Amino acid sequence: MRAAGIDQAKEGIQVKEEYGQKKSKGRYRLSKTELQFWIIVAVPLLYILLYCYVPMGGIILAFKDYSIRKGIWGSEWVGLRYFRQFLTSPSSLNVIKNTLILGIYSLVVTFPLPIVLAIMLNEMRSLKYKKFIQMVTYAPYFISTVVFVGMLMQLFSQRTGIVNVLLKKIGMDPVNFLGNSSCFRSLYVWSGLWQGAGYSSIMYIAALAGVDPQLQEAAIIDGASKMQRIWHVDLPEIRPTIVTCLIFSCAGAIAIGFDRVYLMQNSLNANVSEVIATFVYKVGLVNSDIGFSTAAGLFQSLVSFLILVTANKICRKLLDIGLW
């Protein structure tokens, strides 16, 4: 035993001497595992740096009267002129109003229903039907946006659409859903729900899988019904996940994507379908007013960030749950 202790002490002294020699030489060699780790980490960091942070330098165009001939640095500095123009123009105010209405409508519809879907799937006891419903609800998310809008056009076409064919069979007049401005918002929101509800419910299903079964068993012993168990056990346990998703959804309410709105847009519904994203595209790329379109896009990003901070602060104060 004593000899073994002496050997261990000698090994410890030898390791310390080697470490001191390395330190004194000022060199440190990465092990193979550490090198692999930093290579893996470097790839996404480089991607984020090049494609997320470097392009952010383009926001300077919002403060300049950009000219291709003069370039970014040679163009005249105009300060906040484009922001004032955007916030005072009647067409811009209509665009902001359309964006807010569509965003709030989407938030009210598309946020709670995936939670309901996740709870329904969690309560299903038949694994066969559960997998079938999951496949049916997840599949639309992976459909290309162009294909998805093409399907909507085929379904709601005034002449040959399945919906209008059914309306004719029951004696009703066909409706031009895609050309009716009063139908655009509902068509956009509810079709988006059909496409994204299944995918959005994945996070809630994962959170429900982490609920302690002993809580469910205790509730059953106490005589709680299924609805009572959902309300008093499941929902409180997944509340952090719900609040986190709510904060991000609030921030995304004004950040409506370009692709689906633009593909569903036409001259008949443009008065309600013109949002900031499509406005930026038309002003910047079609009309070549780069400075004005950059100012509009930057305004959208700033408002979205302010909503994110405000929603996080409110949730932190009321529920003691937040992003930071």
The domain that holds 214 is classified in CATH as 1.10.3720.10
| C-beta of residue 295 within 8 angstroms of C-beta of residue 84 | no
Q: Is the same domain home to 183 and 275?
A: yes
* Residue 26 pLDDT: 52
Of 22-31, 32-41, 172-181, the range with the lowest mean pLDDT is: 22-31
Domain assignment present for 154: yes
* Residue 67 falls inside a structural domain: no
Q: Please give the structure tokens belonging to residue 176.
A: 């031009």
- What band does 103 get if pLDDT is binned at 50, 70 and 90? very high
Q: Are residues 11 and 110 in the same domain?
A: no
pLDDT tier, 262 (very low <50, low <70, confident <90, very high otherwise): very high
Residue 90: per-residue pLDDT: 85
| CB atoms inside a 10 Å sphere around CB 167 | 14
In a domain, 118, yes or no: yes
In a domain, 153, yes or no: yes
15 and 110 housed in the same domain: no
pLDDT score recorded for residue 19: 47
Flag whether 62 is in a domain.
Answer: no
**Based on the domain organization, do 96 and 2 belong to the same domain?**
no
State percent of the chain over pLDDT 90. Answer: 39
Tell me: pLDDT of 10 over 70.
no
Range of the domain at 7: 1-28
Is 287 domain-assigned?
Answer: yes
Q: Are residues 20 and 86 in the same domain?
A: no
Q: What is the DSSP letter of 31?
A: P
- The stretch 90-115 carries a mean pLDDT of 92
Same domain, 153 and 20: no
| Res. 13: pLDDT tops 60 | no
Residues facing 67 on adjacent strands: 71
Whole-angstrom distance, CA of residue 12 vs CA of residue 126: 60
The partner residues of 29 in beta bridges, in order of sequence, read none
Residue 181 placed within a domain: yes
Structure confidence at residue 118 as a pLDDT band (50, 70, 90): very high
Helices (H), 26-126: 32-48, 71-74, 81-88, 90-110, 112-123
Nearest-10 crossing angle of helices 239-251, 90-110: 160
3/134 same-domain check: no
Check residue 28 and give its pLDDT. Answer: 62
- 16 and 131 share a domain? no
| pLDDT given at position 8 | 52
Q: Judge whether residue 113 has pLDDT over 80.
A: yes
Residues 155 and 268 in one domain: yes
Q: State residue 27's pLDDT score.
A: 63
The answer to whether 269 and 178 have CB atoms below 8 angstroms apart is yes
Same domain, 12 and 123: no
The count of domains in the chain is 2
- Residue 148 is predicted with a pLDDT of 92
84 and 24 in a common domain: no
Q: Do 94 and 200 have their domain in common?
A: yes
Q: How confident is the model at residue 24 (pLDDT cuts 50, 70, 90)?
A: very low
Does residue 59 lie in a domain region? no
* pLDDT confidence of residue 112: 92
Residue 167's identity, in one-letter code, is: L
Asked whether the beta carbons of 161 and 175 are under 8 A apart, the reply is no
